[in-house]
Structure 1
Amino acid sequence: MRLKVRSYEVDRLGHVNHAVYHQYGELARVGGFEAAGLLWDKMTDSNMGPVMLHTSVDFRRELRVGDEFDVTCELRFGGGKTFRLDTLITKLDGTVSAELRCVLGVMDLQARKLFTDPRQALEAAGLDPAVLPSVNFPQ
């Protein structure tokens, strides 16, 4: 997803406020889920929803007003109740601006507990994990 920094997203130093990077990540997560066939209404109709359990940002290079940048996601399932959805924010010249790492679960909205197998729950609601792009995160 390509975005552009708006004037109200910057702080007094003239670069994007730290909290805004989380909003960029949320836009990419929601957009990525939708592109992969997972629609919010379908999830809630199935009494489920993704929940953020942890998020962190590594800031690499600043973004300033008017900068355009790409935001990508990589979905990683493991063997437990949680999964990762990592986001890479890259300037158009290829410079990495920020890396976001998120740990999520899928909550059963009636039982108020995490599903044991988040991949199975999301796929049952329409997710095609192959649609989300795979990116290589710098070390």
Structure 2
Amino acid sequence: MQNYIFEIQLKVRDYECDLQGVVNNAVYQNYLEHARHEYLSSKKVSFKELAEKDILLMVSRIEMDFKRSLTSGDTFSVKLRTERQGLKLLFFQDIFRSADNSLCLQAKVEVIGKINGKLNRGDIFDTLDFN
């Protein structure tokens, strides 16, 4: 079992599904991003305030492994944990269908920081307390 530090519950909307009746694969990135933003918000980290200080946090890489499909009306949870790796902050995010707690997606999202247009050495993640 993972040591998740944050969880959010969401529900699939009809327009997120493709002609096969399953959530379009690109929509999963929206779910993951929404969970990351809510997590950062819970830690009192504001993207708007960071941007005003010319601090940019950006996704540099995403790996997604699709396990099971979500369909219209499904409720699900996005759970995450973080880990520092050199210049990067890694988000390990899993999506579980609520009805049967089945794993639908596993993702690894790599985030980098730029301050005043320059790549940060990762210490920005320490100062913002992401754990």
**TM-score interval for Structure 1 and Structure 2 normalised by the shorter chain:** 0.7 to 0.9
Off by >2 Å, runs of 4+ in structure 1:
127-130
The equivalent position to 2:34 in structure 1, one of 27, 34, 55, is: 27
Query: 1:113 deviation in Å?
Result: 2.3
Deviations 1:45-78 (A, max 9, x none): 3321111111021011110000000011211102
Aligned residues with identical type, % of pairs: 26
The separation in 1 between residues aligned to 2:118 and 2:61, in whole angstroms, is: 16
The separation in 2 between residues aligned to 1:84 and 1:114, in whole angstroms, is: 16
Matched to 1:129, the amino acid is F
SS of the equivalent of 2:104 reads strand
Unpaired runs of 5+ residues, structure 2, are 1-7
The equivalent position to 2:125 in structure 1, one of 122, 126, 131, is: 122
Q: If the length of structure 1 is used for normalisation, what is the TM-score?
A: 0.82
The separation in 1 between residues aligned to 2:125 and 2:48, in whole angstroms, is: 13
Query: 1:123 deviation in Å?
Result: 4.2
Structure number with higher strand proportion:
2
Task: List aligned pairs for 1:67-106, cutoff 5 A.
Answer: 67-78=74-85, 80-92=86-98, 93-106=100-113
Report the aligned-residue RMSD.
Answer: 1.3
Matched to 2:32, the amino acid is G
Q: If the length of structure 2 is used for normalisation, what is the TM-score?
A: 0.87
Aligned pairs, number: 123
